[in-house]
Amino acid sequence: MIKKPIDITEGLNEVKTVLFQIFGKEYVNFKEETKKDIETFMRASKNKLERWTTLLSKKQITLDEYEWLVKSQKELFVFNELEKAGVSKMRIRQLRKNTIKAVLDIGKSLVKKNI
């Protein structure tokens, strides 16, 4: 039984904050590009992340299904501005991996707080 309604906005804000931290450490010289890429990612992902996290919190999908759904979107995590700025494809792949990990960790944490 859920103790209180899950606060998806809180989770999305936390994802955004963590991504700024991850990207900020690695790409200090690309702050504007980083900001644009994170904003683009959040706009593109918001509805799906909200839906999937809500389904997980209501136990309508399992944790494994949640992870699969998030990971299945990895090619949609496009960092065009950083790529245009010359960041290598290998680094972009690592950013995707870190982004997915952050989204999963925060989603799981948010659900655990509300169960």
pLDDT digits over 22-38, tens only?
888 878 888 888 889 88
The count of other CB atoms within 10 Å of the CB of residue 75 is 7
Nearest CA to 107 out of 72, 92, 99 is that of: 99
| Tokens, residue 19 | 């991504």
Does residue 2 belong to any structural domain of this protein?
no
Q: Is the pLDDT of residue 45 over 70?
A: yes
Q: Is the pLDDT of residue 1 over 60?
A: no
Please provide the average confidence, as pLDDT, over all residues in the chain: 85
Domain hosting 86: range is 8-113
Please state, in angstroms and rounded to a whole number, the distance separating the CA atoms of residues 20 and 28: 10
Nearest CA to 84 out of 42, 45, 27, 46 is that of: 27
pLDDT > 90 in the chain, percent: 19
Does residue 50 belong to any structural domain of this protein?
yes
Q: What is the mean pLDDT of residues 68-92?
A: 87
Does residue 63 belong to any structural domain of this protein?
yes
Q: Is the pLDDT of residue 2 over 50?
A: no
- Domain count of the chain? 1
Does residue 16 belong to any structural domain of this protein?
yes
Does residue 84 belong to any structural domain of this protein?
yes
Does residue 83 belong to any structural domain of this protein?
yes
